[in-house]
Structure 1
Amino acid sequence: MECYISSNLQVYRCTLKEQFKYILLPVSYTLVFVFGLGLNITAMYIILFRTKHWKPSTIYMINLNVCDTLYILTLPFLIYYYAGKNDWPFGEHMCKLIRFLFYTNLYGSILFLSCISLHRFLGICHPVRSLYWMDGQRARLVSVGIWVIILILQAPILYFSRVRLNGNDLVCHDTTIKELFNDFLVYSSVVTFLLFIIPFGVVLVCNGLMVKKLLDPGVLREPMSQRSKLKSVKMIIIVLLAFMLCFLPFHLNRSIYYTFRYLDKHDCNIIRLSNNAYKVTRPLVSLNSCIDPILYFMAGQSFRNSINKKSRI
């Protein structure tokens, strides 16, 4: 088992029963791969070839789209791995690369969703100030900065990810071997704080202030304000849905499981329960790759017009 066998010298106290993941993960990842890849390739085509004027939000969305697409492209390897019941045939270097790409693009999605929320917050709550801060050049610089930060913070994954023999099977660890787990836990906690908790806080604050502004009757004086308000509310709902449904359960359950695994003193049933909860939330993270294209559709009329033209061809 990937969760408790780590080397010939050290094993965890509890044996985990997780046969269900050999059905859950391949099936869920396959569905996300099929639908998510189609949606994101379509979105990428429309953004790149049908969008004439790129706004700052367009720049953030194409970066989000790249993250989702690269994330989805790692799934066939994981589908094969889990369908084969934790037998990794691709070697240690590929194990490191797939784990690195998986988490790099996961956290890239989180940060670019946060940028979209911050962008809309400035446009709604500080429209005059946003004229200075919301130009294409700054959006490009922010996007480059985000990629640099993510690549630096995810680079340790290339060190921690290892393969180990478990009987006749070669396990590609989702975390790391037991000898390195204490160091990995510190690293994982720092990454969770910097790349999830802080962005999640930004999203909550920005969307909360936007809702407050939109509910202010003074905002609705202009004839087109009602339609703009409805569009903004829909965008808020989609972004919050992505965080609440996809990212929050995953990080919460993973943190609980890592804590129990680190202590290794609790009742084995509790450890198994936390591990199972963590495994169940992993498909939810992948579901975000199917939710994000809805965000592109809601973003503007030009995107919807492009879809309508394509459907008539």
Structure 2
Amino acid sequence: MASFANDNTNQSNRSAFYCEFNEDFKYILLPVSYALVFVIGLALNATALYVIVFRTKRWKPSTIYMFNLTMCDTLYIFTLPFLVYYYADENDWPFSEPFCKLIRFLFYANLYGSILFLCCISLHRFVGICYPVRSLYWVSARRARLVSLAVWAIVLFCQAPVLYFSRTRDMDTERICYDTTSPELFDDFLVYSSVVSVLMFALPFMVVMVCYGLMVRKLLEPSCGSEGGVEGERGGLAARRSKQKSVKMIIIVLAMFMLCFLPFHLTRSLYYSFRYLRQVNPAQVRTNTFSFIINVLQWL
């Protein structure tokens, strides 16, 4: 009897410490969110591709990077209808496992491809503003094409393991398409995901921050050798306004970059950490309230 009572006590203690991640809300949130992103994103990216392909006569390096960035987004947008159906049907994947792998692969390829091409655009602008004379020799359309090919090669190489980790599993009457990997491979996936986050998000994020910070400092430097007289004053005023507008645009771009990518990586890291702790030692995840917060944040 004492042993039975102790077992019950231990089970109750484990259940008190064990936090379950209730994900039912995603069956409404994700289909609605993905549907909105699909409609708006398809219209915007189609417009961008039309302007770049049919309205741009001379492709500059920035045009090449923008084209590749738009292609990244467009490839992902075409996967969203399948995810809308999947989550609206409460995690019942009606397609094959190879197609599940492809959808997950395109998601991460778009994510990190977008980050790397935004990093290329930042470096291009940095060289043009901070080293305008040298940029005439360093920056060219041919080099931009070579850099774009290198970015695509890096993305395909680094995201190829997603094709291995992503898989389906039949659960009762449902087929799950894992957005990470199956439970038995999660430890390996955690290591892989951490390395990719550092190499393809943290480092490019630091590069973008440094580039735009140096650009702001350069733009805020007082101009030398301005002409005297009324025309000189007008020219100086116009130059200051142009610089202020450029600084505001840089701040907006930085804010959008952080808004688009930083919350995802922070909340995903928290979610992966608590999922790992839940497997290793559930007692380390102590409160249902904190678990609920993490669960909500991961889908923001």
TM-score range (shorter-chain normalised) is: 0.7 to 0.9
Comparing 233-242 with 100-109, greater Cα deviation is found at 233-242
Correspondence 1:20-169 to 2 at 5 A: 20-169=25-174
Could you say if the C-alpha distance between residues 15 and 167 of structure 1 is closer, same or farther in structure 2, counting changes exceeding 3 Å?
A: farther
Displacement of 1:234 in angstroms is 4.5
Q: Is the 8 A contact 2:123 2:208 kept in 1?
A: yes
CA distance in 2, matches of 1:240, 1:271: 31
Displacement of 1:23 in angstroms is 1.1
Q: Is the 8 A contact 2:42 2:74 kept in 1?
A: yes
Displacement of 1:260 in angstroms is 1.0
Correspondence 1:270-281 to 2 at 5 A: 270-280=290-300
For 1:295, the equivalent position in structure 2 comes to none
Q: Is the 8 A contact 2:31 2:84 kept in 1?
A: yes
Displacement of 1:196 in angstroms is 0.3
Comparing 196-205 with 209-218, greater Cα deviation is found at 209-218
Could you say if the C-alpha distance between residues 15 and 166 of structure 1 is closer, same or farther in structure 2, counting changes exceeding 3 Å?
A: farther
Q: Is the 8 A contact 1:96 1:161 kept in 2?
A: yes
Matched residue SS, 1:119:
helix
Selected match of 1:232 from 240, 243, 246: 246
CA distance in 2, matches of 1:200, 1:87: 36
Letter in 2 for 1:278: Q
Could you say if the C-alpha distance between residues 95 and 34 of structure 1 is closer, same or farther in structure 2, counting changes exceeding 3 Å?
A: same
Displacement of 1:229 in angstroms is 2.3
Matched residue SS, 1:96:
helix
For 1:256, the equivalent position in structure 2 comes to 270
Selected match of 1:267 from 263, 286, 293: 286
Could you say if the C-alpha distance between residues 132 and 167 of structure 1 is closer, same or farther in structure 2, counting changes exceeding 3 Å?
A: same
For 1:213, the equivalent position in structure 2 comes to 218
Displacement of 1:175 in angstroms is 0.5
Q: Which has the larger radius of gyration?
A: 2
Letter in 1 for 2:122: S
Q: Is the 8 A contact 2:20 2:291 kept in 1?
A: no
Displacement of 1:240 in angstroms is 1.0
Letter in 1 for 2:84: I
Comparing 33-42 with 267-276, greater Cα deviation is found at 267-276
1:245 and 2:254 aligned: no
Give the TM-score normalised by structure 2: 0.85
CA distance in 1, matches of 2:179, 2:275: 14
Give the TM-score normalised by structure 1: 0.81
Displacement of 1:150 in angstroms is 0.3
For 2:180, the equivalent position in structure 1 comes to 175
Q: Is the 8 A contact 1:220 1:226 kept in 2?
A: no
Q: Is the 8 A contact 1:114 1:199 kept in 2?
A: yes
Matched residue SS, 2:86:
helix
Comparing 240-249 with 217-226, greater Cα deviation is found at 217-226
Comparing 203-212 with 14-23, greater Cα deviation is found at 14-23
Unaligned runs of 5+ in 1: 1-12, 281-313
Displacement of 1:219 in angstroms is 7.2
CA deviation string 1:192-211 (max 9, x = no partner)? 00110001000100011111
Displacement of 1:231 in angstroms is 5.0
Displacement of 1:233 in angstroms is 2.7
Displacement of 1:226 in angstroms is 4.0
Letter in 1 for 2:297: A
Letter in 1 for 2:273: T
For 2:208, the equivalent position in structure 1 comes to 203
Letter in 1 for 2:74: T
Matched residue SS, 1:71:
helix
Displacement of 1:14 in angstroms is 4.3
Q: Is the 8 A contact 1:125 1:213 kept in 2?
A: yes
- Name the count of aligned residue pairs: 268
Matched-pair identity in %: 66
Q: Is the 8 A contact 1:219 1:225 kept in 2?
A: no
What's the C-alpha RMSD, in Å, of the aligned pairs? Answer: 1.7
